[in-house]
Structure 1
Amino acid sequence: MIRFEHVTFTYADAPEPALREVDLTVGEGELCLVTGRTGVGKSTLLGAVNGLVPHFTGGHLQGRVSVDGLSTADAPPQEFAHVVGVVGQDPLASFVTDTVEEELAYGMEQLAIPAAVMRKRVEETLDLLGIAELRRRALRTLSGGQQQRVAIGSVLTAHPQVLVLDEPTSALDPTAAEDVLAALTRLVHDLGTTVLVAEHRVERVLQYADRLVHLTGDGRVREGDPAELMRDSDVAPPVVRLGRLAGWEPLPLSVRDARRKAAELRTRLTGRAPAAVPATQGQPALSARRVTVAYGDTVAVRELDLDLAGGEVTALMGRNGSGKSSLLWALQGSGPRYSGQVDVRGTDPGKVAARKARALVGLVPQTASDLLYLHTVDAECAQADRESDAADGTCRALLDALAPGIPGDRHPRDLSEGQQLALVLAVQLAAAPGVVLLDEPTRGLDYHAKEAFTGVIRRLAAEGRAIVVATHDVEFTARAADRVVVLAEGEIVADGPTADVVVSSPAFAPQVAKVLSPQEWLTVEQVRTALEAV
């Protein structure tokens, strides 16, 4: 169905090819997972499938890419619309209508599909992705995860033979991600759809993959059976790394397979436990009382009380649309707050000027690049110093500590996801806030980048700051968070130490916890430390 024949692609003015001598065949009805570290060319590989690379991106492509026998060199990308459906990393960038129902129908209208067929497919897709209650909602009012499901649905309604998805579960809560992946699996098994998916959260997709394509970092690819490639892959989920540590053969790709092998490991760990996280003492860095956020008749946060302690990392979790982002903006002071009070060092950030509020609470939004508007990294840093009344060079020094080596003359939009996140975090930290709020900061980060980012926020906490991370990433939460707060319909339904909250949760438990349950292990590193101490 998809063929790459000796494909080499180089972006304009790039010193090295993004893809180098790629030979790849993906058959009909295969689910193919594309992995690799951030910036190795996964999006480039996906974009070449329907000709967006190079027709839209520019650059020079050698070799031949074909889909169902049609070469991308012989037709523009729009000629592939009936064959290839593409869902990019940014759902908002793909929307062209105002409401969910209109967006699901739009692609079919362009393909001149009869109205009766369109209506049927819209209903089927609403049910398939669990978004029927959103059908008349304005797209701009949806949460990031809801927007992502709509973007996937808008492509599915056209019934393409090939479906290409770039980070399709990055903004989805664990349950919603499972629903979407189950839907994709049904398309593969029942309709013979070919699915090519790039995903940093490999733990979510690996067990469903028929084939793995791994980009090594030099433009080349390795492809084959997922279990074989995972033996030495530098991008491996916790269940695979636990299997390597325990010496399991063959390596498990799912929690179910790992649990079948884990009895002996659980026995070895009996009587041992991870080191307890010391309780944080003292006055809260932020105190919120009876905070309510409403948008018209919709209540997003309902009379919520929350205290945040300095030196503590809190993970804010909950399904898409549960009120996480609304709460963060209300705490920071820039977002709407219907009622309630927030106290930071005796001041309510929502009742002071923006410059003073930044010195109290810093917020990195879900799309970090929304805060970047100047033409160079140096300009962004200099502006941050001025707005924060900080000494010259403060922001740049923070950036160098977070992500060393970023050229000052580089355009912020040309940075990787991780570098943009570091830049925006440095901009916010220039004002020296005692409370730092981050909304889905690990989107677009591979396992190595997330490990580095975990070190960053742990250092910030060690400086005495209160850190809140709104996230759906259970593996990141297991490594980084001292405390987990779970929201549902704008209310707190669980609040406590990370292990106490997530170990017993089917949705929010990390893979290691599921494999070794009922023992309270969260990460491979905890298990390794315990085994080495024997």
Structure 2
Amino acid sequence: MIDFDRVTVHYADHGEPPLRDVTLHIPEGELCLVAGRTGTGKSTLLRAINGLVPHFTGGTLHGTVTVHGRDTRSHPPRDLADVVGIVGQDPLAGFVTDTVEEELAYGMEQLALTPATMRKRVEETLDLLGIADLRARPLRTLSGGQQQRVAIGAVLTNHPQVLVLDEPTSALDPTAAEDVLAAVTRLVHDLGVTVVVAEHRLERVVQYADRLLYLPGDGTVVDGEPAAVLTDIDLVPPLIELGRVAGWTPVPLSVRDARRRAADLRQRLTSAGPPPPRPAPDAVPVLTARKIVVRYPGTVAVAGVDLDVHPGRVVAVMGRNGSGKSSLLWALQGSGPRQGGTVTVTGPDGTADPASLSATRARRLVGLVPQSPADLLYLETVSAECGQADREAEAPAGTCRAMLDHLVPGLPADHHPRDLSEGQRLALVLAIQLTAAPSVILLDEPTRGLDYHAKQQFAAIVQRLAAAGRAVVVATHDVELVAALADRVIVMAQGEIVADGTTTEVMLSSPAFAPQVAKVLAPQPWLTVDQVTAALTRPGPPA
């Protein structure tokens, strides 16, 4: 179905080629997972499948990419539209209509399908992805996760033979991600669709994959069965790390397989004692919000929420897509809509409501990294953005650049921010906001597009900020990040807080938000591989 024959892709002035002499074959009806660190060439590989590389992105392609017998050099993307469907990292950038139903039908209109066929496929796709209630909604009013499901649906209505997905679950809550992956798996198993997925959250996809393509960053591609490839690489999900700590061979790819082997490990952990509790918070909050209300036409996004955030603490806000997480963060930051309630934040210059201050003064109280980080980038190079961040924050020169190197080392200073991958742009905006070191830092899906190593670096930076007395609020669907980082978890639904407690309390009581380690070792209170490793290496009591 898909053949790469000695393919090399090179971009002018971009250093080493992201793909070098790549030869591989992906047969019909396989789910192929593409993994690798941020910026190693995953998106380039995906875009080569439908001819976006080099017809749209530029650069030089040597070798041959053949899809369903068509050479992408002589067949640009428009000539492959009936065969290949592709969903990029930024769904909103790919929309061409105004409403959900129109977007689902647009591709079929370009293929000249009959109205009856289009109507039938639209209804099937609305039900398949669970978005029937959104059919008349304007696309720009949807949450990031809802937009992502619509983008996938707009491709599925064309019934492509090859489906290419770039970070398809990055903005989805755990339940929605499982629903989307179940739908994709049905396409593979029941209809023989070939699916190629690039995903950083391997824990969500690897158990469904028939093969794994790993890009180590030197232009080559390691091709093999998932269990075999994951044995020899360091970019692995928590379940694989747990298997290595426990000495399981071969490593398990699913929670079910791991639980079958976990009896001995549970016994060893029982003897080691429970993980130590996290310290209690400071008594005086740095941010106090009361009766926050945010309304949009026809929707109450935040319904009278009360929230206290303490210095030195990391609070995770979780909940399904559209539950009000982002609206709450924007209301706390001050520049978003707020129809009711009060917010007070204590900073070096006193206590104030960020909404009542100028943008410069408010930023010293509360910093926000939005879901679409590119909205905050406006200069010509990475270096210029970092320099401007240093000046606005009155920080020593090089502060922002050093922060960026902790997240994605080696990002070229002369690259245009719009030419970066989604993960690289996110890291740049995160570094810009952290440079100002405000009293409260709000992060909306901060790890979207980041690989495991970059997430570890991000977590280390957030922990240092918390240790220095900063308060951090993270709205995220990344349960593994929350398990490792958060002191407290808040779960929202329909604009209200439905759960609020310590990370252990909330995550162990909710199957939807439990990390992989908790699912394997339940009912024991373990959340992360680091906790398990520390317990197993803890010295025993003296004889």
- Which TM-score band applies after superposition, normalised by the shorter structure? over 0.9
Q: What is the one-letter code of the residue matched to 1:464?
A: G
Residues 227-256 of structure 1 show CA distances to partners (whole Å, capped at 9, x for unaligned) of 111111222111111111111122110000
Moved over 3 A (4+): 381-388, 394-410, 414-423, 429-432
Aligned to 1:240: 240
1:432-471 correspondence to structure 2 within 5 Å:
432-471=437-476
- Structure 1 spans left out of the alignment, 5+ residues: none
**CA separation of 1:418/1:190 partners in 2, compared to 1, >3 Å: closer, same or farther?**
closer
Output aligned runs, 1:82-101, within 5 Å.
82-101=82-101
Q: Is the 8 A contact 1:398 1:430 kept in 2?
A: no
Alignment partner, residue 343 of structure 1: 344
Tell whether 2:531 aligns with 1:530.
no
User: For 1:407-439, what per-residue CA distance to the aligned partner results, in whole angstroms no more than 9, with x for missing partners?
Assistant: 554433344545433432343344441000000
Shift of 1:455: 0.1
Match runs of 1:194-205 below 5 Å: 194-205=194-205
Whole-angstrom distance in 2 between the partners of 1:385 and 1:251: 45
Tell me how far apart the structure 1 counterparts of residues 314 and 389 of structure 2 sit (CA, whole Å).
Answer: 25
Counterpart in the other structure of 1:162: 162
Q: Distance in 1 between matches of 2:311 and 2:499?
A: 20
| Backbone CA RMSD of aligned residues | 1.7
Determine helix, strand or coil for the equivalent of 2:352: coil
Give the CA deviation at 1:385.
4.8
Distance of aligned partners of 1:211 and 1:379 in 2 relative to their CA distance in 1, 3 Å threshold: closer
Q: 2: distance between equivalents of 1:405 and 1:229?
A: 26
Instruction: Give the whole-Å Cα distance in 1 for the aligned partners of 2:75 and 2:421.
Output: 31
**Counterpart for residue 175 of structure 2:** 175
Residue matched to 1:302: 303
CA spacing shift, 1:482–1:140, aligned 2, 3 Å: same
1:519 corresponds in structure 2 to: 524
What secondary structure does 1:149 align onto? Answer: helix
- TM alignment of 1:14-25, pairs within 5 A: 14-25=14-25
Alignment of 1:16-415 (within 5 A): 16-271=16-271, 272-345=273-346, 346-385=351-390, 387-388=392-393, 390=394, 393=397, 396=400, 399=403, 402=406, 408-415=413-420
Q: Do the aligned partners of residues 66 and 416 (structure 1) sit closer, same or farther apart at CA in structure 2, a change above 3 Å counting? A: closer
Query: What is the deviation of 1:400?
Result: 6.1
The alignment of Structure 1 onto Structure 2 pairs a total of residues equal to 533
TM-score w.r.t. the length of structure 2 is 0.95
| 1:327, distance to aligned residue in structure 2 (A) | 0.2
Partner Cα separation in structure 2 for residue 397 and residue 112 of structure 1:
50
Please say if residues 426 and 449 of structure 2, whose CA atoms lie closer than 8 Å, have aligned partners that are also in contact.
Answer: no
The answer to whether the 8 A contact 1:398-1:429 is kept is no
Normalised by the length of structure 1, the TM-score is 0.97
Equivalent residue letter for 1:373: Y
Greater shift in the superposed pair: 214-223 or 163-172: 214-223
3-state SS, counterpart of residue 136 of structure 2: coil
For residues 127-184 of structure 1, the C-alpha deviation after alignment (integer angstroms, 9 at most, x for no partner) is 0000000000000000000000000000000000000000000000000000000000
Q: Is the contact made by 1:310 and 1:464 (CA closer than 8 Å) also made in structure 2?
A: yes
Shift in alpha-carbon separation, 1:196–1:525, aligned structure 2, 3 A = same
Asked whether the 8 Å contact 1:402–1:422 carries over to 2, the reply is: no
The runs of 5 or more residues in structure 2 that have no matched partner are: none
* 1:482 alignment partner, one of 484, 487, 492: 487
Tell me the secondary structure at the aligned position of residue 457 of structure 2: helix
- Residue range with higher mean Cα deviation, 411-420 or 236-245: 411-420
Q: 1:156 to 1:233 in 2, by over 3 A?
A: same
1:428 maps to what in 2? 433
CA distance in 1 between partners of 2:71 and 2:311 (Å): 58
Per the TM alignment, residue 278 of structure 1 is displaced from its structure 2 partner at its CA by: 0.4
Query: Which of 495, 500, 512 in structure 2 is aligned with 1:495?
Result: 500
The residue type paired with residue 424 of structure 1 is V
